[in-house]
């Protein structure tokens, strides 16, 4: 008989599966201190929490029977993941339970900004009957731009079609084939900003998506566009949005999230007549709260019964001999995927991983997870070594692993190739005694540099003076070069240079570099 401890007032309806399970005994306790939990946790195989209870390493150390910690929600900041992983305890969350709740709030916000409902309500209850001020627009026959076509964005697109809207979608992992299946036209961020009447964002907040919509994007927009953000604060530049509304470019906006929450009392959104705000209500429905409890209950049962599960957020146990052989490569593998993911513009359809040398003698699937995590983590929220393969599969991303005994001049070599409809890029890396992690190949070019810090990857024609021009331009902009690597196949042909710089280059510097006639492509890569 498995014993499950349920904390933090999780609803009985949500955990009914556990109550009904013949092999599970459920105890509900609320408000226990760490000392109280430590005293009783030895009796339990699983513990379910929301955000109130902190599941510390001390608690898990005392839980000699503990196999799984479940979080009825998305965030796991209150759970010591490292402590759980060290003890082979699986930590799971419920990332899908709030999908419909957030999708429906997005439509509520879209309708509210289209018809200015909160503003009209405020005037009406204030005793003013004002019909002329609140002439809105219809959704029918309008273009909706959806930035981020994951779970929530896809549901929004589906409902928008029912409203008679044309949908443009952007997602770094959305292929044309999948977009066609969904009835969505594939576009870039700038395509959407220039063509959409309504724009809604459903991406995680990463270095790549922070201020995804800012002044340059607002300058592209149709006059009268409307913006909705029920995803994460910071995806849209808040001050640039206010400027765009005041300039008459954007007709209105509706935000459920802020860059800093709660916002300051003088935040310009709070008193702007064209902006609707709510206090981060995306998952605040009865159904969503029950759904996350149901989802986590199902996963707990799977884990306790040794059945397949998907929503884990930490590393599952790896046999000691395999871990010993692979652990030195985990960091290298993640960096290979991370760097390579930053070199691709269009949707990735396939990841090909080739292991050479001694690595062919062990099960490399744990290392594959790190590589896939690295590829995905710039664009997806909550990617980890457990769920990376599941997330890749859910986006129709094909993972191919190959092994070859020969590693040429290296004892071991890990080579990763990303394929899209129009291109493919390759990185290869190894561990060198005394030097550590090294990248030794970019596409067809041999190189040798450490994958760390901020890098500039520059494709150019192999002509005298180019390196000097690049160095002079960076120096004049106070950008210091720490290291430089140049790779070429033949004299006078195409070539690359990889520069390690001491700080990130500004957009202006990158534009100046791109303007040099001998350079064919400039990318900044950051680790």
For residue 501, the 8-state DSSP code is: E
**How far apart are alpha carbons 397 and 400 in whole angstroms?**
10
Q: From the CA atom positions of the chain, what is the Rg in Å?
A: 26
Q: Which of 71, 178, 226, 232 is catalytic?
A: 232
The residues, any chain, with a CB within 8 Å of residue 273's CB and separated by 6 or more, are 119
For residue 116, the 8-state DSSP code is: T
User: Contact 454/509 with Cβ under 8 angstroms?
Assistant: no
Q: Say how many residues make up the chain.
A: 527
What are the respective helix, strand and coil percentages of the chain, to the nearest 5?
A: 35, 25, 40
Helix (H) and strand (E) counts in the chain: 17, 22
Kindly write down the DSSP assignment for every residue of 259-289, as one continuous string.
SSSSPPTT-TTTT-TTEEE-SS-TT-SHHHH
**How far apart are alpha carbons 4 and 259 in whole angstroms?**
37
Tokens 């396939």 -> residue: 350
**How far apart are alpha carbons 69 and 89 in whole angstroms?**
7
82 C-beta neighbours (distance < 10 Å), count: 10
Say if residue 134 is exposed, middle or buried (CB neighbours under 10 Å; 0-12, 13-18, 19+): middle
**How far apart are alpha carbons 237 and 210 in whole angstroms?**
8
User: Contact 244/218 with Cβ under 8 angstroms?
Assistant: yes
- Both tokens of 153, joined, read 């964005």
**How far apart are alpha carbons 411 and 356 in whole angstroms?**
8
261: annotated active-site residue: yes
> In Å, what is the CA distance from 19 to each residue of 294, 298, 510?
12, 12, 59
232: annotated active-site residue: yes
Q: Which of 115, 280, 302, 438 is catalytic?
A: 280
Q: Which of 131, 140, 261, 507 is catalytic?
A: 261
User: Contact 44/5 with Cβ under 8 angstroms?
Assistant: yes
Bridging pattern class, strands 143-147 and 90-92: unpaired
DSSP strand E in 433-477: where? 436-442, 445-449, 454-461
- The three-class DSSP label of residue 100 is helix
**How far apart are alpha carbons 132 and 463 in whole angstroms?**
66
Strand partners, 283: none
Q: Which residues are catalytic?
A: 232, 261, 280
């Amino acid at each position: 008989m498995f014993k499950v401890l349920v904390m933090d007032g999780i609803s009985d309806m949500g955990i009914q599966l556990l109550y009904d399970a013949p092999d599970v005994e459920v105890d509900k306790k609320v408000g226990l201190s760490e000392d109280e939990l430590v005293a009783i946790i030895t009796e339990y195989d699983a513990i379910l929490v929301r955000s109130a209870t902190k599941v510390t390493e001390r608690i898990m150390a005392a839980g000699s029977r503990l196999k799984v910690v479940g979080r009825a929600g998305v965030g796991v900041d209150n759970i010591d993941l490292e402590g759980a992983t060290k003890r082979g305890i699986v930590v799971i969350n419920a990332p899908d339970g709030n999908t419909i709740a957030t999708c429906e709030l997005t439509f509520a916000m879209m309708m509210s900004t289209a018809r200015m409902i909160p503003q009209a309500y405020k005037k009406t209850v204030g005793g003013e009957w004002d019909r002329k001020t609140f002439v809105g627009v219809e959704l029918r026959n309008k273009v909706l731009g959806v930035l981020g076509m994951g779970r929530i964005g896809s549901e929004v697109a589906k409902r928008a079609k029912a409203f008679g809207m044309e949908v443009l979608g952007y997602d770094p992992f959305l292929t044309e084939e999948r977009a066609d299946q969904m009835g969505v036209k594939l576009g870039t961020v700038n395509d959407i900003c220039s063509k959409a009447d309504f724009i809604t964002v459903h991406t995680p907040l990463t270095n790549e998506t922070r201020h995804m919509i800012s002044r340059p994007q607002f300058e592209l927009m149709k006059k009268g566009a409307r913006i909705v953000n029920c995803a994460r604060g910071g995806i849209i530049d808040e001050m640039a949005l206010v400027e765009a509304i005041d300039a008459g470019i954007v007709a209105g906006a509706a935000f459920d999230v802020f860059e800093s929450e709660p916002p300051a009392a003088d935040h310009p959104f709070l008193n702007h007549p064209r902006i609707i705000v709510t206090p981060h209500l995306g998952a605040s429905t009865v159904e969503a709260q029950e759904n996350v409890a149901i989802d986590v209950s199902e996963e707990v049962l799977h884990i306790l019964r040794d059945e397949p599960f998907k929503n884990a957020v930490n590393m599952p146990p790896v046999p000691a001999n395999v871990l010993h052989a692979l652990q030195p490569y985990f960091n290298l593998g993640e960096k290979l995927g991370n760097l390579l993911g930053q070199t691709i513009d269009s949707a990735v359809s396939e990841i090909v991983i080739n292991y050479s040398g001694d690595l062919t003698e062990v099960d490399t699937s744990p290392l594959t997870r790190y590589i896939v995590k690295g590829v995905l983590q710039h664009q997806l929220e909550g990617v980890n070594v457990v769920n990376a393969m599941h997330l890749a599969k859910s986006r129709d991303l094909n993972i191919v692993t190959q092994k070859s005994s020969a590693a040429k001049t290296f004892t071991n070599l890990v080579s990763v190739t990303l394929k899209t409809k129009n291109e493919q890029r390759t990185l290869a890396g190894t561990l060198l005694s005394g030097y550590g992690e090294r990248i030794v190949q970019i596409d067809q070019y041999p190189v040798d540099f450490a994958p760390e810090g901020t890098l500039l990857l520059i494709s150019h024609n192999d002509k005298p003076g180019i390196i000097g021009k690049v160095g002079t331009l960076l120096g004049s902009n106070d950008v210091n070069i720490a290291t430089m690597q140049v790779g070429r196949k033949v004299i006078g042909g195409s070539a690359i240079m990889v520069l390690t710089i001491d700080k990130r280059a500004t957009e202006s510097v990158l534009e100046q570099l791109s303007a040099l006639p001998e350079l064919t492509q400039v990318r900044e890569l950051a680790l």
